[in-house]
Amino acid sequence: MFSGIKSYLTDWKNLLTHSLVGVLILLIALYAPVSPYVRMGFVGCVVGFNVFRMKYLDQ
């Protein structure tokens, strides 16, 4: 389990994706306040996509 978490957190594609999503959420929060639940859902979708990508597409 810890090796999976370590590989997830050190994958450059995940770092790039989460950085872009973080900037996007900040920009949206400045110009169009969005419910925190929508933001958490968006981040959850990104995490789910990255886990799927790492498990099935990057082989």
pLDDT at 35: 82
Report the amino acid identity of residue 29.
A
Residue 48 has pLDDT above 80, yes or no: yes
Nearest to residue 40, comparing CAs of 50, 48, 31?
Answer: 48
pLDDT at 59: 64
Strands of the chain, DSSP E: none
What is the number of helices (H) and of strands (E) in the chain?
3, 0
Quote the pTM value: 0.57
